[in-house]
Every structure is written in structure tokens, then in C-alpha cells.
Amino acid sequence: MEEVVCRTEDLQPGEMMESRFGKHEIVVCRASDGHYYAFLNRCIHQGAPLSKGKLCGAPEPTDNLGEYKFERDGDILRCPWHGREFDIRNKGCMLANEKFKIKNFKVMEKNDEVIVYK
């Protein structure tokens, strides 16, 4: 099964949108590197619609104790209800604990279309 979920021009790097894939509500994300990713549009914590959250970055530690820098802008999907953060470039793994992740779908680009498939 495969389905066109949007056109490539619908999303710029660091943007996301709600769409459908079969019976599933999904969120389609375009990472900072331009690649597309798709996930079930429900947070694993309490089912919040992830498309209502935001794509952002995350603080990363530096070599200086207590100092952080902001990295990976446009690659972290943050839940709108409780702030859970998921790495879209790492199959939707939760930043705080990689053993938890949101359901992801396979994505390909073809003829200016973003296609989700099984």
C-alpha cells in the first residue's frame, strides 16, 4: 500500500503538517536536511496530536560544565501537551529514553510528491 500524503512544495525544512495514510492520522515532517518523515499523529504518552506541537531543536551539552548550545533545529518533534520530544531523524525515538518511540512510516519522494508506504 502506498499513498500520496502531500506535495514536496507543501513543506519547507523544519515544517510539518497533518495528513492521512489509509485509516491513520499522521504527521508528515520535513527535517532540517530536507528529508521527509511520517509518524502516527499521536503521542505515546497520552495521545496528544503531535501535529499541534512543533518541530524545534534541543539543548546539547558543551565541554564546559553547565553550558549548553541549541542544536538540531527542525529535527525534534515536541508534543503540545507535555513537551515529550522525539527525534524525527532517529525513527521517532524519544530523546529522554530511546526505547520508546512513536510509530513511523516509510516515506519516499517521487515526481514532486511525498508518498507514504508500507
- Other CB atoms closer than 10 Å to residue 96's CB: what's the count? 9
Reported pTM: 0.92
C-alpha separations of 80 from 6, 13, 27, 67, 110 in Å = 23, 20, 13, 26, 31
pLDDT along the chain (118 residues), means of 10: 97 97 98 97 97 93 88 94 96 92 97 96
When divided into structural domains, the chain yields a total of 1
Q: Say if CB 5 and CB 17 are below 8 A apart.
A: no
The pLDDT value recorded for residue 52 is: 98
CATH (domain of 59): 2.102.10.10
Question: 3-class DSSP state for residue 90?
Answer: helix
Helix, strand, coil % in the chain, rounded to nearest 5: 10, 55, 40
The pLDDT value recorded for residue 114 is: 98
The single-letter code of the amino acid at 36 is Y
Segments forming the whole domain that contains residue 44: 2-117
CA angle at 13 for the pair 9 and 17, rounded to the nearest 5° = 65
Short-list 51, 50, 26, CA closest to 39: 26
Q: How far apart are CA 35 and CA 37, in angstroms?
A: 7
